[in-house]
Amino acid sequence: MTVLLATDATYRLLPFRFMRLDESDRGLLLTAETGEYLFLSEAQLDQLVNRRLPRHTPLYKDLLARHFIYEIDGHDPLPEMAAQYRSRKSFLFGGPALHLFVVTLRCNHTCQYCQVSRAPLGGSGHDLSAEHARHAVDRLFESPSPVLTVEFQGGEPLLAFDRVRQIVEAVQARNSEERRSIRFVISSTLHHLDEQVLDFAQEHDIHFSTSLDGPAFLHDANRPTPERDAHARTLDGIRRVRERLGHEAVSALTTLAARSLEYPEAIIDEYVEQQFDSISLRPLSPYGFAHSSRQRLDYPMARYVAFYKQALAYLITLNGQGIRLSEGYASLLLTHILTPFASGYVDLRSPAGAGIGALVYNYDGGVYPSDEARMLLEMGEAGLRLGSVEQPLETLLRSPVMGLLLSAGIAEGLPGCADCAFVPYCGADPIEHYARQSDPVGHRAFSAFCQKNMALLQHLFRLLRDGDDLTQRVLLSWLARRRLADLPVPGYRG
């Protein structure tokens, strides 16, 4: 016999979104505006929206606590929700915090996926001038952010080390009055590291970020040099940085070419062998390719997703064996899902991080809202230039390009995203949609950005719901940035 409960007129619904993950009895994912979530059955959702949920049940209490419903005679949930929402969007208050200086476009590599965002070693006209560098430092300090990251990009920035030196010294001199918290990072192959560079890095607390695409056979194929020794030289650079500046002074990023997708375990094993505690498994982006090689190097997102799931399973197994190695993108998404805080990651923000969170000072004195936007320039697309380093930050951020990016950069208002249960954890990437679909708004049904985030978020939510004890604990250890063995065990221990 079915008992129909009378409508409970004492509770009201708060705005939420939902998505069907599967047909199981907790197959519906509900997400609140605050980013809190619950898994429900279809019958429970039906009861909820028809206000027939019995009070005093655990589900009712969960829905109340997680801001899906409120009681008319209860406390006002809006101040709490507003505080949570404000924390999630706190990145908006600081202004651009990431400042990328493209000191040169010259490079000794001839990477297949980077044919248009580099220049030959001896090329001229591809270095940032001292005058432009001075202006760029002025723009940096016009940002109100109390925490700033100065990142040197190329090409290969160590080929223009005098300019790196000039900028670091100018920033530090100015900061003796400004008193901001400033972090310096050089993105480098580490092939041009010498004692002079290491001395300077030690003196000024500079960190390095390098590229390690896996074992030698993959890395050398991805990153050809005339001597065919890119992998060996990068490993030598990692060793030298660690010896001089400490183990944490160098991190590595992976670029996955089509062939890499066949070797998830080999790539991860290489990171274990080189004693990194984090790996970032990034798909190729559509920037910087010569048009002719794009079709050869690019791959369907579904292939990447299958690779990623296999890699994640392997990483969880390794962590269970006591090897600490987290995956960067999963850690970031878990921060978005399980905490009320902003991760600071500029590519997964709404409003979009380009320009608002990051600025790029190009070697030619142009200012761009992201590294991808300036790479599009090298492909012949100059439309995303904000202006020149000589213009004040306020003028740059009022440029028509920023207007365009913002009008297409708020995920909560975009077609497809507005109704998506993942929107509290996802972002808008108008530059990627512009690059791939020639439209900054883009169509989510054909969007590689959406396909990736949809698949990875679904996978992570399923792991959070169904994963065994080891999986849950490994994911939590990544979130907490702790070793699995150091993670407190919940509950009483007898």
DSSP H helices, 246-398, are: 264-273, 291-297, 301-320, 328-338, 371-378, 393-397
| DSSP-derived pairing of the beta strands 98-102 and 250-256 | unpaired
Which residue of 416, 437, 459, 467 would you call a contact of ligand SF4, by CB under 6 A? 416
188-221 CB burial, b ≥16 within 10 A, e <16: bbbbebeeebbeebeeeebbbbbbbbbebebbbb
- Total residues in contact with ligand SF4, by rule CB under 6 A: 12
Candidates 106-114, 155-163, 367-375, 413-421 — which segment interacts with ligand SF4 by CB under 6 A?
413-421
One character per residue 448-477, x = contact with ligand SF4 (rule: CB under 6 A): -xx--xx-----------------------
| Pick 37 or 271: Cβ nearer ligand SF4 | 37
Which H or E run contains 253?
strand 250-256
Nearest approach, Cβ of residue 459 and ligand SF4 (Å): 12
Judge contact between 163 and 137, C-beta under 8 A. no
Q: Does 338 bind ligand SF4 (CB under 6 A)?
A: no
| Pick 28 or 450: Cβ nearer ligand SF4 | 450
310-333 CB burial, b ≥16 within 10 A, e <16: ebbebbbebbeeebbbbbbbbbbb
| Pick 102 or 417: Cβ nearer ligand SF4 | 417
Candidates 60-68, 153-161, 361-369, 412-420 — which segment interacts with ligand SF4 by CB under 6 A?
412-420
Q: 380: left (phi > 0), else alpha (psi -120 to 50), else beta?
A: left
Q: 98: left (phi > 0), else alpha (psi -120 to 50), else beta?
A: beta
Q: Does 160 bind ligand SF4 (CB under 6 A)?
A: no
Nearest approach, Cβ of residue 442 and ligand SF4 (Å): 9
Residues 372-411 close enough to bind ligand SF4 by CB under 6 A: 411
Nearest approach, Cβ of residue 453 and ligand SF4 (Å): 4
Nearest approach, Cβ of residue 347 and ligand SF4 (Å): 12
- Gyration radius of the chain over CA positions: 24
| Pick 156 or 429: Cβ nearer ligand SF4 | 429
Q: Does 304 bind ligand SF4 (CB under 6 A)?
A: no
Residues 418-437 close enough to bind ligand SF4 by CB under 6 A: 420, 422-423, 426
| Pick 106 or 452: Cβ nearer ligand SF4 | 452
Q: Does 417 bind ligand SF4 (CB under 6 A)?
A: yes
- In this structure, the number of other CB atoms found within 10 A of the CB of residue 359 comes to 27
Give residues with Cβ within 8 angstroms of 221, minimum separation 6: 257, 259
Integer Cα distance of 72 and 334 in angstroms: 33
Nearest approach, Cβ of residue 415 and ligand SF4 (Å): 9
**Which structure tokens are listed for 84?**
């949570």
Nearest approach, Cβ of residue 71 and ligand SF4 (Å): 30
455-483 CB burial, b ≥16 within 10 A, e <16: bbbbbbbebbbeeeeebbbbbbbbbeeee
Q: Does 301 bind ligand SF4 (CB under 6 A)?
A: no
| Pick 139 or 336: Cβ nearer ligand SF4 | 336
Nearest approach, Cβ of residue 301 and ligand SF4 (Å): 12
Integer distance in angstroms from the first to the last C-alpha of the chain?
Answer: 44
Q: Which residues bind ligand SF4 (CB under 6 A)?
A: 411, 416-417, 420, 422-423, 426, 444, 449-450, 453-454
